[in-house]
Amino acid sequence: MTTLALGTRNLKFAGRGFAIAATVMLLSTSASAQKHGPKAPAAAAAAPAAAAPSTGGKMRSLAETLPKEAKAEYDDAIVLVRNNDFKGALAKFEAAHFKFPDPRLLWNMATCEKNLQHYGKSLTLVRRYIEEGKGLLAESDIQDAKNIEEGLASLTTTLKFVVKTTGASISIDGEVVGSPEKPLLVNVGEHTVVAKKDDFADLQTKVSGPGRGTVEVPIELKPLVHEAQLAIRAGASDTIALDGKVVGTGSFRGTVKSGGHSVKVTAPGKVAYEKEVALRDHENRDLQVTLEEKKGSIIPWVLVGVGVVAAAGATTGIYFAAKPGREDGVPGGSLPPNIVNTAYRF
């Protein structure tokens, strides 16, 4: 028979024929719970015949009751307990209980949790042991478990999550809370609660409570606001457009959606300013815009000058062509009468 020490007295765990010295509960309890063994659990009805009580009314030990697959997990757990690997032993006891839900395994699991200093989890398992063992365990066994329950209660506090944001994932000290709608027993002391949900800002809060106390933890997340602040300062008469829409003259300041935006600043006779800006959530961005004067072009003036000269030449040609002739006494030239050559000489 395997024995796990419980303070000043021992709680017997039916197992292989060697003793395991391991400090477990701080409180003492009766050895009768496992020495005599509880009545066969309800699940035993569907289990192999080995789970049935032996002749003479005495119940089989836990090691004798477990079917082969569950027994293998149980045996591994005992070896791990022997080596003070309570985390590994807990996983093995849980596996054995999954395969064959004997309430006595809950007690073993509670013992491992206690040695891991998870008093809230240990207390939860002790209460399950009491509840699921009703009608199966002797009254003395139930009373012993209640004594342990009383001692553990002083080391724990109860958290009640008041969830106002449905669908949020809640964790405490990095461990996900599977059923936030149920009260959660935790060790006394400070704990970190984190709640998350897509498109909502994360919530992180510190909670603590006294032994045997109850603390309400509100879970209300705020939707993420995909907005930013944008300020644009330009010349007093400059026109400011945002995403193709005029939003001000001289300056603009406002709340815009985070992401990409097109900014354009214009003014007569000045070079337009255009820029794409990308804004992060909650960012504050200031843009100072100074427009440059447009530079003059020589080409138009050249064209105008040529036009003036051409026009002057045409006028001269018309004037001389229309003149009736030279004065009397002046010899005529060699060109045909009334024609004067006004072509460019250079």
Among 38-42, 234-238, 261-265, 336-340, name the one with the lowest average pLDDT: 38-42
Section 5-22 average pLDDT: 31
> What are phi and psi for residue 298, nearest 5 degrees?
-75, -25
Q: Which of 219, 237, 252 is the last residue of a domain?
A: 219
- Residue 270's CATH number: 2.60.40.10
Tokens matching residue 64 = 């004798």
Confidence class for position 135, pLDDT limits 50, 70, 90: confident
- In a shared domain, residues 79 and 167: no
Q: State the pLDDT at residue 94.
A: 98
Nearest alpha carbon to residue 267 among 304, 239, 296, 306: 239
By residue range, what is the domain housing residue 13? 2-153
- In a shared domain, residues 11 and 112: yes
Give yes or no for residue 60 having a pLDDT over 90. no
Confidence class for position 339, pLDDT limits 50, 70, 90: low
Decide if 185 is inside a domain. Answer: yes
Q: State the pLDDT at residue 138.
A: 87
Give yes or no for residue 113 having a pLDDT over 70. yes
- In a shared domain, residues 127 and 12: yes
Decide if 346 is inside a domain. Answer: no
Q: State the pLDDT at residue 295.
A: 85
- In a shared domain, residues 13 and 101: yes
Alpha helices in the chain (DSSP H): 32-35, 62-65, 68-82, 86-99, 103-115, 119-132, 139-153, 298-322
Among 10-24, 71-85, 133-147, 148-162, name the one with the lowest average pLDDT: 10-24
Decide if 315 is inside a domain. Answer: no
Condensed to tens digits (0 to 9), the pLDDT of residues 180-223 reads 999 999 999 999 999 999 999 999 999 999 999 999 999 999 99
Decide if 327 is inside a domain. Answer: no
- Residue 105's CATH number: 1.25.40.10
User: How many domains is the chain partitioned into structurally?
Assistant: 3
- In a shared domain, residues 145 and 161: no
Q: State the pLDDT at residue 33.
A: 36
Q: State the pLDDT at residue 49.
A: 28
- In a shared domain, residues 183 and 195: yes
Confidence class for position 318, pLDDT limits 50, 70, 90: very low
- In a shared domain, residues 11 and 134: yes
Q: Which of 202, 219, 236 is the last residue of a domain?
A: 219
- In a shared domain, residues 136 and 200: no
- In a shared domain, residues 148 and 161: no
Decide if 294 is inside a domain. Answer: no
**pTM of the predicted protein model:** 0.62
Condensed to tens digits (0 to 9), the pLDDT of residues 292-312 reads 999 864 444 444 454 544 444
- In a shared domain, residues 148 and 7: yes
Sign of the dihedral defined by the CA atoms of residues 183, 187, 193, 197, in that order? negative
Nearest alpha carbon to residue 126 among 185, 198, 205: 185
Decide if 64 is inside a domain. Answer: yes
Confidence class for position 335, pLDDT limits 50, 70, 90: low
Alpha-carbon distance of 274 to 92, in angstroms, equals 67
Q: State the pLDDT at residue 59.
A: 64
Give yes or no for residue 245 having a pLDDT over 50. yes
- In a shared domain, residues 107 and 200: no
Give yes or no for residue 239 having a pLDDT over 70. yes
- In a shared domain, residues 81 and 200: no
Tokens matching residue 334 = 């060699």
Q: Which of 243, 266, 288 is the last residue of a domain?
A: 288
